Structure 1
Amino acid sequence: MESFQDKGLNQPLVESFQENGLNHLPVAAEEVSSELENVLSDRRLTASSRYRKATWVESKILFKLAAPAIIVYLLNNVTSMSTQIFCGHLGNLELAASSLANNGIQLLAYGVMLGMGSAVETLCGQAYGAHKYEMLGIYVQRSTILLMVTGLPLLVIYIFSKPILILLGQSISVASAAALFVYGLIPQIFAYAANFPIQKFLQSQSIVNPSAYISAGTLVIHIFLTWFVLKLGWGLLGAALVLSLSWWIIVIGQFVYIVTTCKQTWNGFSVRAFHGLWDFLKLSTSSAVMLCLETWYFQILVLIAGNLPNPEVALDSLAICSTILSWVFMIAVGFNAAASVRVSNELGAGHPKSAAFSVVVVTLSSVVIATVFAILTMVLRHQISYAFTGGSAVADSVSDLAPLLAISLVLNGIQPVLSGVAVGCGWQTFVAYVNIGCYYVVGIPVGAVLGFKFNLGAKGIWSGMLGGTVMQTIILLWVTIRTDWNKEVEIAKNRLSKWEDEKAEPLLKE
């Protein structure tokens, strides 16, 4: 392990580390050092040389963060999908039940927990950049406590999932089977409550590879266990319980890594975790509202399409386009995580130029990749649907929707990254209001009018909702471009001072 002097860090930074009781650089601290800020401030270089060198420095850090994050989200998605595939081999009723439970009830819990866990991204990221390492463990414990409590009302929804699904128009047979699957997912609620704070805790320190390895190993175990319990005849309940167990394996694996490796940022369980929970709840709630409004937006698109005159073709074509969009979205989510980490780290470290430059690099990188997929979508617009179904009517409908899908893919290269920037800066409440206005006041009503009043069908519904996304993206772009990054550094400094309470002895040392 290299010492401060070996790294050639300046004396004030060395003293900052030593004040926190650290004699060596913690994991990934090199990425949040002043290297990028020094390059951007080096007037000995020409502007082109300065930006070229800075782009190389930032790109290396960015893709080390984004690539494993993408893999983690993809693997977690595949874990749930593999359960549905196995259930599909039990019969059509079981496939419908597992799909409804996973994409309906379970998605609600996933969105709420992931959203509330995003508060940890802001606080841990900025605290890590400011070298307040002892606070990271406190923040992750506070978040876990709040998410565990939040799991209780979600538990009630899971318990009463059958009457809820019947009330929403599902048949008794499908609702009964889906409810059985949901009962097996109850332990997963609290796995989410522990996983997302832990995941954000690690990401804020640029530690992403271990989560990818743990998710990959868990997927292998999950597939074997699911096959085994179905062979035993445990059916939907057994498959769901295995899915819950797999999420707990991920949680335990990551926590063991934290306890054994993150010595500077994890100092054991502490009573300080119970201080300031109300303010933490307000930030967590804003984060949850912001993310859930985005997650539910395109789910509503499918629900509205079910009321069209020819719903079968509309739903099939929208399902195919939504599947493609969701898989490419996983890439954008990786850049979302990278943007949040980079911006929060640099703001916490007091590097306004680096924070602003990180936003530019991560946004352009994501847009380029999204544009490539958009072009492929247009080139293969007549062939895409045949990977899912052989119907010519659906193929024609998908081809007709392809231009809208391509635009959505490009926007998905921008919007999630800007949301990541918002999380890194702590703008969750503002973005929640923007999402309400753009998505639910403009996008959905306009889509409904175009789809039903003007008889444009699925294309009209998507066009209206796409308009809401464009509006939201423009607003976030405008706000980001006009951001005073020096002021954001001061806001981050004040936020950390507010959130850092008086030091207390840990409740339990590891």
Structure 2
Amino acid sequence: MEMDDGDGGKCMESPLLPKTRDYEVHESRTKREDILTEVKKQLKLAGPLVVVNLLVYSLQVISVMFVGHLGELALAGASMATSFASVTGFSLMIGMASAMDTFCGQSYGAKQYHMLGIYMQRAMIVLLLVCIPLACIWANTGTILQFFGQDKEISAEAGKYARFMIPSIFAYALLQCLVRFLQAQNNVRPMMVTAGITTVLHMFTCWILVFKSGLGNKGAALANAISYWLNFLFLALYVWMSPSCKATWTGFSKEAFNDIPKYVRLAVPSATMTCLEIWSFEMMVLLSGLLPNPKLETSVLSISLNTCSMIYMIPLGLSGGVSTRVSNELGARRPQAARLAVFTAIFMVATEGILAAMTLILGHNIWGYCYSADEMVVKYVGEMLMLLALSHFFDGIQSILSGTARGCGWQKIGAIVNLGAYYLLGIPTSILLAFIYHIGGKGLWIGITVALLAQALVLLTITLRTNWEKEAVKAAARVESVMTPVQVL
């Protein structure tokens, strides 16, 4: 076809032009399809993980609710013991087990399926050994709390509760290992089923042990241990009997005792990364007790923290999903797919953060009535929820980026970032605003929000500057370092 060239001459239309436009349309359509496929994969992972997180979190909440009917002292002791156990034990187990996100996820992506069972056994060995000194700490909870100036009567009650919780820590450690093992292979629905069954049974167990056995609040602590062990046994039976785990669980192996230091080298910064974040939130509640009108401040901070923890289960599920997707894709040497997974997850959690923030803002005047009829408490909770709406958005972003760090094996970097964000910036800001400028509990929460923003910005900068091809090479080297010559062939 001839065309006027603008000078009266004729020129031929290039047949490449329509092809170029067609290629661009096709490429755009392909990108949209890739993003939609990635969204479906992550929702398929994150949905059950959100439910699992909520159900496991609810076990201790249910126990404390039952204890609440026994009186103020029993409730205070159980609440203090639960908080102490979270800081000294459960958070540590979560952190150390999350090293499996890197090892198991990348091995699964590289089709080194048998290594998932080896890594799980290796993690179980390490975590159970760590549980021994933790059990000794829990056995002396009452003495430790008194040493730090807590009320003697409440400390003694918390000590009794904590001693009955000691079996929980061993079950929780094993359970975390099984959860990471199944999560790495995108097999999350069984966890949702077993957690649901355990939660229902937990209600009956609490009722019997708290009200019928004569154990009182100690019965609630024992119910926690029973429920964690039941959940572990249910999942262990599934792994042992299910055909879906046939390739990843090949039985107990002496190989699990090899390279334990290698696992520990990643588990320690992984635990540090997790604990530094969790401890900072618990520290806010402790600091609130030093403010004027400590009963009001502590109550409102506790309500805010419970609310924050509850809605955080959604970003936490997405974080687990992106950690699995990134580690799988890097192990399979698909760096651009890993990159797509990260930015898709960021978009999803940002959307969730906006919706959650809008919900908190719209309901800020009535949420406090769920916890108290005191108008002062309700009003203060409403003011805190306005801040919580902002902090939750940043918390969601950092959770995705932290999940990315676990999938890539950046736990050491994550630990350094969390140390700086929370302890060099966030907590000093909280203390400055709360105690120097007398903003009170709101000042404490603003400091945490500043820490979350700093953490998210630094991790986002690292993620944006990441060379994903190099990360895939590192993942391949990590996987190949445990392969025998036969496996390599």
The two structures have a TM-score, normalised by structure 2, of: 0.92
Cα deviation for residue 502 of structure 1 reads: 7.3
**Counterparts of residues 62-461 of structure 1 (less than 5 Å):** 62-230=42-210, 231-261=212-242, 262-461=245-444
Structure 1 residues 398 and 438: alpha-carbon distance in aligned structure 2, compared to 1, 3 A threshold: same
Kept in 2, the 8 Å contact 1:381–1:399? The answer is yes
Structure 1 residues 407 and 501: alpha-carbon distance in aligned structure 2, compared to 1, 3 A threshold: farther
Kept in 1, the 8 Å contact 2:213–2:219? The answer is no
Show the counterpart of 1:5. none
Cα deviation for residue 438 of structure 1 reads: 1.1
Q: Aligned partners of 2:217 and 2:463: how far apart in 1?
A: 46
**Counterparts of residues 477-492 of structure 1 (less than 5 Å):** 477-492=460-475
Q: Aligned partners of 1:225 and 1:401: how far apart in 2?
A: 35
How many residues align? The count is: 463
Show the counterpart of 2:40. 60
Q: Deviations over 1:392-429 (max 9, x none)?
A: 22223223323321111111221111110100000000
Structure 1 residues 297 and 47: alpha-carbon distance in aligned structure 2, compared to 1, 3 A threshold: farther
Cα deviation for residue 312 of structure 1 reads: 2.2
**Counterparts of residues 22-37 of structure 1 (less than 5 Å):** none
Give identity over the alignment, percent. 37
Show the counterpart of 1:27. none
Show the counterpart of 1:495. 478
Greater shift after overlay, 233-242 or 344-353? 233-242
Structure 1 residues 416 and 404: alpha-carbon distance in aligned structure 2, compared to 1, 3 A threshold: same
Q: Deviations over 1:149-199 (max 9, x none)?
A: 000110110111110011122222211211111111111111122111111
- Matched residue SS, 1:194: helix
Q: Aligned partners of 1:205 and 1:285: how far apart in 2?
A: 23
Structure 1 residues 239 and 464: alpha-carbon distance in aligned structure 2, compared to 1, 3 A threshold: closer
Kept in 2, the 8 Å contact 1:87–1:94? The answer is yes
Cα deviation for residue 270 of structure 1 reads: 0.4
Structure 1 residues 299 and 43: alpha-carbon distance in aligned structure 2, compared to 1, 3 A threshold: farther
Q: Deviations over 1:226-281 (max 9, x none)?
A: 11122121222222122101101111111111111211011100000000111111
Q: Aligned partners of 1:98 and 1:75: how far apart in 2?
A: 19
Cα deviation for residue 77 of structure 1 reads: 1.2
Q: Aligned partners of 1:86 and 1:397: how far apart in 2?
A: 27
Structure 1 residues 502 and 172: alpha-carbon distance in aligned structure 2, compared to 1, 3 A threshold: farther
Structure 1 residues 165 and 502: alpha-carbon distance in aligned structure 2, compared to 1, 3 A threshold: farther
Show the counterpart of 1:466. 449
- Matched residue SS, 1:238: helix
Show the counterpart of 2:12. none
Cα deviation for residue 362 of structure 1 reads: 1.2
Cα deviation for residue 351 of structure 1 reads: 0.7
Cα deviation for residue 210 of structure 1 reads: 0.2
Does residue 48 (structure 1) correspond to residue 28 (structure 2)? The answer is: yes
Q: Aligned partners of 2:200 and 2:418: how far apart in 1?
A: 38
Kept in 2, the 8 Å contact 1:371–1:409? The answer is no
Kept in 2, the 8 Å contact 1:214–1:253? The answer is yes
- Matched residue SS, 1:414: helix
Q: Aligned partners of 1:83 and 1:102: how far apart in 2?
A: 10
Greater shift after overlay, 75-84 or 201-210? 75-84
Greater shift after overlay, 143-152 or 447-456? 447-456
The two structures have a TM-score, normalised by structure 1, of: 0.88
Q: Aligned partners of 1:43 and 1:268: how far apart in 2?
A: 51
Q: Aligned partners of 2:36 and 2:186: how far apart in 1?
A: 18
Cα deviation for residue 503 of structure 1 reads: 8.0
Cα deviation for residue 147 of structure 1 reads: 0.1
Structure 1 residues 501 and 89: alpha-carbon distance in aligned structure 2, compared to 1, 3 A threshold: farther
Cα deviation for residue 130 of structure 1 reads: 0.4
Q: Aligned partners of 1:274 and 1:384: how far apart in 2?
A: 51
Kept in 2, the 8 Å contact 1:418–1:476? The answer is yes
Cα deviation for residue 435 of structure 1 reads: 0.6
Structure 1 residues 395 and 279: alpha-carbon distance in aligned structure 2, compared to 1, 3 A threshold: same
Q: Indicate the structure (1 or 2) with the bigger Cα radius of gyration.
A: 2
- Matched residue SS, 2:319: helix
Cα deviation for residue 96 of structure 1 reads: 1.1
Structure 1 residues 104 and 43: alpha-carbon distance in aligned structure 2, compared to 1, 3 A threshold: farther
Show the counterpart of 1:33. none
Kept in 2, the 8 Å contact 1:339–1:359? The answer is yes
- Matched residue SS, 1:70: helix
Q: What value does the CA root-mean-square deviation take over the aligned residues?
A: 1.6
- Matched residue SS, 1:456: coil
Q: Aligned partners of 2:304 and 2:78: how far apart in 1?
A: 21
Which amino acid is the alignment partner of residue 71 of structure 1? V
Cα deviation for residue 65 of structure 1 reads: 0.4
Q: Aligned partners of 2:483 and 2:261: how far apart in 1?
A: 14
Q: Aligned partners of 2:154 and 2:444: how far apart in 1?
A: 27
Structure 1 residues 205 and 43: alpha-carbon distance in aligned structure 2, compared to 1, 3 A threshold: farther
Which amino acid is the alignment partner of residue 208 of structure 1? V
Which amino acid is the alignment partner of residue 169 of structure 1? G
Cα deviation for residue 52 of structure 1 reads: 1.3
Q: Aligned partners of 1:43 and 1:343: how far apart in 2?
A: 29
Kept in 1, the 8 Å contact 2:100–2:120? The answer is yes
Kept in 1, the 8 Å contact 2:346–2:397? The answer is yes
Cα deviation for residue 383 of structure 1 reads: 1.8
Cα deviation for residue 106 of structure 1 reads: 3.8
Cα deviation for residue 441 of structure 1 reads: 0.9
Cα deviation for residue 202 of structure 1 reads: 0.2
The unaligned stretches of length 5 or more in structure 1 are: 1-41, 505-510
Which amino acid is the alignment partner of residue 296 of structure 2? V
